[in-house]
């Protein structure tokens, strides 16, 4: 089982898309093991986006993610990283396929609704940045046997 961090960004929160986005990950078969509604601090945003420090878009990225509340979720499942990224669609919304979150609801890369971990290692690091281990709930759904082999 892999873990991934999903952030429902301020644009999605402001547009009332929280429930729709959560539902898409649940329908995909990913299991929510942690979830919070937070106002991200600048410090946390800078740590989260540290890999982009020094890039021209870094400051606007940090300012954007702290501009309003976000939902952070830890999801778990078989190939959770790839499953979540496929569900989200391409980072550049104009390249995202119809049926994906970004393809259905996004227009611009700077307002692309969701963040998802891009590797198993980053998934572990990002989940740990936003959640204490005690905040994650390991559980089984009765439907898991119909989703996971």
Q: What domains can you pick out in the chain, each with its CATH number? A: 2-135 (3.30.70.141)
What tens digit of pLDDT does each residue of 13-28 get? 999 999 999 999 999 9
* Residues that are catalytic: 115
- C-alpha gyration radius of the chain: 15
**Which of the residues in the chain have pLDDT under 50?**
none
- Write down the pLDDT at residue 149: 86
Predicted TM-score (pTM) of the model is 0.95
Q: What CA–CA distances, in Å, run from 135 to 13, 47, 89, 131?
A: 22, 20, 28, 6
- Write down the pLDDT at residue 136: 98
3-state secondary structure 8-27: ECHHHHHCCCHHHHHHHHHH
């Amino acid at each position: 089982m892999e873990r991934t961090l999903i952030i429902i960004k301020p644009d999605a929160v402001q547009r009332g898309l929280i429930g729709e986005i959560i539902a898409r990950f649940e329908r995909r078969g990913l299991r929510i093991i942690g979830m919070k509604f937070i106002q991200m601090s600048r410090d946390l945003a800078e740590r989260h986006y540290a890999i982009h420090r020094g890039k021209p878009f870094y400051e606007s990225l940090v300012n954007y993610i702290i501009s309003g509340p976000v939902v952070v979720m830890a999801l778990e499942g078989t190939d959770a990283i790839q499953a979540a990224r496929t569900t989200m669609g391409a980072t550049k919304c104009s390249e995202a396929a119809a049926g994906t979150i970004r393809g259905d609801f996004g227009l611009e890369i700077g307002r692309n609704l969701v963040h998802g971990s891009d590797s198993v290692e980053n998934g572990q690091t990002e989940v740990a940045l936003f959640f204490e281990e005690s905040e994650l709930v390991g559980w089984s759904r009765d439907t898991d046997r119909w989703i996971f082999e």
